[in-house]
Amino acid sequence: MTQLSGRYPLLLATKGEPAVQNLRVEQSGLARWFDKVYVLNEKNAAAYTSIALEQKIKPPLSWVVGNSMKSDINPALQAGFNCIFIHHPHTWDFEDEEPLGGHISVDSLTSILEFIT
């Protein structure tokens, strides 16, 4: 995160009840790395498009990184983003889904640096 923060605008999108999710983000220590945290009712293409419009970012020139094909990668692909899927062996089975398009798959967060930087 040190190599990305300050160099690129970093946004965090999470889904759930806002008070619970904001507390989780704060307690995780991740909040300091992000320019803005979005707590969404649903992670779908419309939500990712809305974030892109608000932040004035171009999805084809931007990346979404996530560990859920269903909630992170596929909606972002539908919204036109480049995507990096971080495979995690303990991801909830409900989040398994076939990818809807081309993406990069890695095993760790540090592995994304070779693609983004």
pLDDT (0 to 100) of residue 85: 96
Burial track 12-29 (b if 16+ CB lie within 10 A, e otherwise): ebbbeeeeebeeebeeee
- Domain assignment present for 6: no
If one counts the domains in the chain, the total is 1
pLDDT (0 to 100) of residue 93: 62
- Domain assignment present for 5: no
- Domain assignment present for 42: yes
CATH number, position 31: 3.40.50.1000
Q: Note down the domain range covering 85.
A: 11-116
Q: What is the DSSP letter of 73?
A: I
- Domain assignment present for 105: yes
pTM of the model: 0.87
pLDDT (0 to 100) of residue 2: 85
In order along its 117 residues, the chain shows pLDDT tens digits of 888 888 899 999 999 999 999 999 999 999 999 999 999 999 999 999 999 999 999 999 999 999 999 999 999 999 999 999 998 766 656 567 888 889 999 998 888 988 986
pLDDT (0 to 100) of residue 90: 63
Contact of 3 with 117, CB cutoff 8 Å? yes
Contact of 85 with 103, CB cutoff 8 Å? yes
